[in-house]
Amino acid sequence: MESLSEAERRALAIESTSLRVRRGELLFRQGTHHDGIYIICSGRIRTFFVAPSGREITLAHWTPHHFVGGPEVFGHGTHQWSGVATAEAEVLHLGGDRLRRMARELPGFAIALIEGLVYKGRCFSSLVQMLGTQSASARLAHVLLGLSDLHGRTVRTADCATEVAISQPFTHDQLASMIGVTRQWVSTMLGKWRSEGILRMEGRRIVIMDHAKLAARCSD
């Protein structure tokens, strides 16, 4: 939604309802009635699925200008995923009927909505392909590269090497839920890659020191 014009943003503000979500609070729960989408103004929302066995898998961590609540963006279905705030967030709730009317009346908004759905489709396809075809270490490398694309900040070291710092902090539990492994396995693998000079930690933030070596791990 970052590409919306001022007129489209004003229309969105009029048609939507502003909500504040505390860290750890559910925004919506899988299986419950669906009515529209939530556009993130600030904070971060994690979308995830919980199987009957209790096993959990994360689709993505969404940041400002993204929306959550698909795929039934116009409502009248049930949520396929749950959404929880991983940082205090402000969101705009846009009901399905109002969303449909805005899509008809504002072409720029409709295009932004389609682009958002395309991006989410790519995320879902990537998740399915990754879980179905890659080893655990390759999945972790794939996720870290994806996070560096989405949240990366390029920095130059004193010896002119290029590193990419993932600006958003992710816990080992969060990384584990993205790739379907245990937290202990993630901790072990990150420690191994630190010793190999592929990455380092700055508190809870990951810095990729050797992008090429990490990319090579995607084929392990």
9-13, 46-50, 128-132, 164-168: segment of lowest average pLDDT: 128-132
Same domain, 10 and 56: yes
Q: What is the DSSP letter of 106?
A: -
Cα torsion 200, 183, 90, 66: sign: positive
What is the pLDDT averaged over residues 54-73?
A: 86
Same domain, 53 and 81: yes
Q: How remote is the C-alpha of 45 from its chain's centroid?
A: 7
Copy the structure tokens of residue 215: 């990319």
3-17, 116-130, 176-190: segment of lowest average pLDDT: 116-130
pTM: 0.69
For residue 151, the domain's CATH number is 1.10.10.10
Q: What is the per-residue pLDDT for 40?
A: 95
Angle between the 136-151 and 172-179 helix axes, to the nearest 10 degrees? Answer: 120
**Domain closes at, from 84, 101, 131:** 131
Range(s) of the domain holding residue 11: 6-131
Which positions ≥6 away from 41 have C-beta within 8 Å? 18, 64, 89, 90, 91, 92
At position 8, the amino acid (one-letter code) is E
Beta bridge partners of 42: 90
At position 158, the amino acid (one-letter code) is A
What is the pLDDT averaged over residues 57-85?
A: 88
What is the pLDDT averaged over residues 46-67?
A: 86
Per DSSP, the residues of 132-189 read HHS-HHHHHHHHHHHHHHHHEEEEE-TTS-EEEEE-S---HHHHHHHHT--HHHHHHH
Same domain, 38 and 70: yes
Copy the structure tokens of residue 170: 């992710």
Same domain, 145 and 126: no
Same domain, 152 and 69: no
**Domain closes at, from 83, 113, 131:** 131
Q: What is the per-residue pLDDT for 149?
A: 82
For residue 23, pLDDT beyond 70:
yes
How far apart, in whole angstroms, are the C-alpha atoms of residue 112 and residue 115?
5
**Domain closes at, from 131, 159, 179:** 131
Same domain, 124 and 34: yes
Same domain, 124 and 162: no
Same domain, 154 and 127: no
For residue 25, the domain's CATH number is 2.60.120.10
Same domain, 93 and 143: no
Tens digit of each residue's pLDDT (9 = 90 or more) over 147-190: 888 788 887 776 767 889 988 888 898 888 888 888 999 999 99
What is the pLDDT averaged over residues 40-55?
A: 88
How far apart, in whole angstroms, are the C-alpha atoms of residue 183 and residue 143?
15
Average pLDDT, the chain: 88
Q: What is the per-residue pLDDT for 160?
A: 67
Q: What is the per-residue pLDDT for 146?
A: 83
What is the pLDDT averaged over residues 185-206?
A: 92
Query: Total domain count for the chain?
Result: 2
For residue 17, pLDDT beyond 80:
yes
Residue 122: Cβ within 10 Å count? 10
